[in-house]
Amino acid sequence: MSVNVIFKIAAVGILVSVISQVLKHSGREEHAFLTSLAGLILVLFWIIPYISELFETIKQLFSL
Amino acid sequence: MEVLKIAIAGIAGVLFAVQLRSVRPEYAVYIGMVTCVILFYYGVSRLSIVVDTLNSIQNYVTVSDIYIKMLLKIIGVTYIAEFSSAICRDAGYQAVAGQIEVFSKLVILAVSMPVLQALLETIDSLIG
């Protein structure tokens, strides 16, 4: 639960936007879409454990 | 001192989100969500102190266990509902946020029904 996840996601976001721009200008439209999809899945992989850990703590804390 | 760290993390997250909003709007939502989760996580660790003292108060004041448990449950429900509806509102989906809030209100109402019943019974026993 450290803060550098934010920076990792920002880095992925910037990277994906740059790559998709480049791919778009070089005519490969579908590759650009695939890259952004891959970026999306990668970010989701990072976020999901954090959210589930948070909800586990809440459930355990409030004995919901 | 802790507040400073939280504030800086929040502002950094927001700056990244703003920067990415124009280029890739979905990443702005992700960064917003992650910042929210991290700050919420720090908040929860503070909240456990409150919950522990609440439980320890119990053996001084003989409040029956059900009410304390119900209180904690209501706090938990509001906490999560507010957190998730704020994220949905942030992403631009007011209707979903509204639904989450309505559902959480209903859950709280359902949880607090026994208290109402107990109150009415005591009143009835006093008057009747």
Cα B1 to Cα B44: distance, rounded to the nearest angstrom? 17
Contacts of B47 in chain A (CB under 8 A): 61
DSSP structure class, residue B58 = T
> Does A13 sit within 8 Å of B31, measured CB to CB?
yes
pLDDT at res. B109: 93
* Minimum distance, in Å, between the CA of residue A24 and any CA atom of chain B: 14
Query: Residue A9, exposed/middle/buried by CB under 10 A (0-12, 13-18, 19+)?
Result: buried
Residue B63 scores a pLDDT above 90:
no
Query: Residue B40, exposed/middle/buried by CB under 10 A (0-12, 13-18, 19+)?
Result: buried
Q: Which are the contacts of B34, defined by CB distance < 8 A and separation ≥ 6?
A: A5, A6, A9, A46, A47, A50, B13
Say if CB A51 and CB B37 are below 8 A apart.
Answer: yes
ipTM: 0.73
> Which residue in B73, B38, B41 sits closest to B54, CA to CA?
B73
> Which residue in A47, A54, A57, A55 sits closest to A6, CA to CA?
A47
Asked if the C-beta of B123 comes within 8 angstroms of chain A's C-beta atoms, the answer is no
* Minimum distance, in Å, between the CA of residue B122 and any CA atom of chain A: 28
Which of B9, B20, B77 lies at the smallest CB-CB distance from A10?
A: B20
Cα A39 to Cα A35: distance, rounded to the nearest angstrom? 6
Tell me the pTM.
Answer: 0.76
| CA B101 vs CA B81, B95, B96: distances in Å | 6, 10, 9
pLDDT digits (tens, 9 = 90+) for B64-103: 777 888 888 898 899 889 999 999 998 889 999 999 999 9
| CA B112 vs CA B8, B24, B57: distances in Å | 39, 44, 21
pLDDT digits (tens, 9 = 90+) for A31-62: 998 998 999 899 999 889 988 988 898 888 88
Domain ranges within chain A, ordered by starting residue: 3-61
Count how many pairs of residues, chain A against chain B, have C-beta atoms within 8 Å.
90
pLDDT at res. A28: 86
* Residues of chain A with a CB closer than 8 angstroms to some CB in chain B: 1-3, 5-7, 9-10, 12-14, 16-17, 36, 39-40, 43, 46-47, 50-51, 53-55, 57-59, 61-64
Q: Which are the contacts of A62, defined by CB distance < 8 A and separation ≥ 6?
A: B51, B72, B73, B75, B76, B79
Contacts of A7 in chain B (CB under 8 A): 12, 16
